[in-house]
Structure 1
Amino acid sequence: MKTYARICSVIFGLMMMALCIVIALETIIRKVFNYSLGGVDELSGYAIAICAPLCFAIAAIEQSHIRINLFHMRMPRLLRASVNLIAALLLAGLALYLSVFTWRTVQDTQLFGSVAQTPWMTPLIWPQIAWLVAMLTFTFATCFLASKAALFAFQGNMDGLLRHFGPDSVEDELAAELSDLEERS
């Protein structure tokens, strides 16, 4: 899954760099030539819609989403493992719901032949298909992780649930930060 997260990161990074270049060009052209390319805001919306699910997938795989550890640390071991399982299952459920919503939106767009209300009048089916692919990327990642969590629970492997799905301990976070600092030095 680390490779999967890395691929999502590269795609996200390339899209954001391209968007930054287009915005910079638009700004320069407006200031220097008093002309606008038009539609850069449209591209920005498409990029964010596509990149957001990629970021969600990365956060789920890397366990980098925000957690409130104050209560989690104080819970009994079995309850912590149970909460980790429930969180993985709920995140996969949310991803599935979002994918169904996205799919239905793409279907409606295709049915009505919708176009963007912008100067470019982009057929919305194209950016929405990319959005759907990104959402399915998120869904695949979360369903894979939820399956792994469910397998740990079925096997009675609380250590697996705690290690792979629980937040890092203070010691783990400190070790990671010191390792990053050492790499940068």
Structure 2
Amino acid sequence: MGAIMSGIRWLARGGIYCGGLMIIVGALLVTFDVVIRAVAGKSMKGADELSGYLFGVGVAWSLASNLLSRSNVRVDFAYAMLPKPLQAVLDVLGLLLFGSFFTLVAYHAYILTEGSYGSLDGSGWSQAVSPMKTPLAIPQTFWLVGLCLFVVTFVAVTVQALAALARRDLEAVNRICGARTIEEEVAESVGFAEHELTEERHMAEQERLAQAHRKG
């Protein structure tokens, strides 16, 4: 199971990086379109459509990482006052409900994408009702890939959570699917800040060495 989870984490990490890049590119497209309209009075046709596809695919590709890092928003004001065993049961129940919903979304996304490729009688791919006439099967396929990655991740995480619950390993259940504590949030923020500071120091040192080399 460890090797499988390592592979899933690797895919999820790549998914969230690609998803974030897609959302940034979509935002830049819209920004560029707005600037062109204001300056030249012209529009880059399709910017809103392309940014919508990029946003949808980007979010789908980020879902698996969201699940692994337990980053989904949870209202836990009453949860924190419950006994640990009940918290563990609710954690697993919440995981099942959350994952089941997106599994249903993935199923209907598959039906939608399959239909967009057209029937076997040669009717052709479905196209967007827009000036670009984008073949909908293309963005929908990438969207479906992200949702399928989430479903695979959900199944693997659920197996781990149920096994931990069966062993009555409440700490493991919390690490797998429990609500993140304030301490964990702070530790992550501090770790990110330390990483950024280390990178800045490394770049400054490289610049100093480069300047010394040029002077030498």
Q: Report deviation, 1:180.
A: 4.1
The equivalent residue for 1:66 is 73
**1:94 and 2:101 correspond:** yes
Farther-moved stretch of structure 1 (19-28 vs 94-103): 19-28
The correspondence for 2:163, drawn from 131, 151, 164, is 151
Work out the percentage of aligned pairs sharing the same amino acid. 23
**1:130 and 2:142 correspond:** yes
Query: TM-score if structure 1 supplies the norm length?
Result: 0.86
Paired residues of 1:39 and 1:119 also in contact (CA < 8 A)? yes
Q: Please, which runs of 5 or more residues in structure 1 have no aligned partner?
A: none
Q: Which amino acid aligns with 1:36?
A: S
Aligned partner of residue 11 in structure 1, secondary structure = helix
The correspondence for 1:121, drawn from 130, 133, 147, is 133
Q: Report deviation, 1:148.
A: 1.3
Q: Report deviation, 1:106.
A: 0.9
Paired residues of 2:91 and 2:177 also in contact (CA < 8 A)? yes
Larger Rg: 2
C-alpha offsets along residues 52-109 of structure 1, whole Å, 9 cap, x if unaligned? 2223322211111111221111111110110111112222211211110100101222
Q: Please, which runs of 5 or more residues in structure 2 have no aligned partner?
A: 1-7, 120-124, 198-216
Which structure has more RCO (C-alpha within 8 Å, separation ≥ 6)? 1
Q: Report deviation, 1:118.
A: 0.7
The equivalent residue for 1:52 is 59
Aligned partner of residue 114 in structure 1, secondary structure = coil
Aligned partner of residue 73 in structure 1, secondary structure = helix
C-alpha offsets along residues 22-45 of structure 1, whole Å, 9 cap, x if unaligned? 233333433444332311111012
Q: How far apart in 1 are the matches of 2:144 and 2:47?
A: 21
Q: How far apart in 1 are the matches of 2:28 and 2:185?
A: 35
1:32-51 to 2 correspondence within 5 Å?
A: 32-51=39-58
Q: Report deviation, 1:158.
A: 2.1
RMSD, aligned α-carbons: 2.2
Query: TM-score if structure 2 supplies the norm length?
Result: 0.75
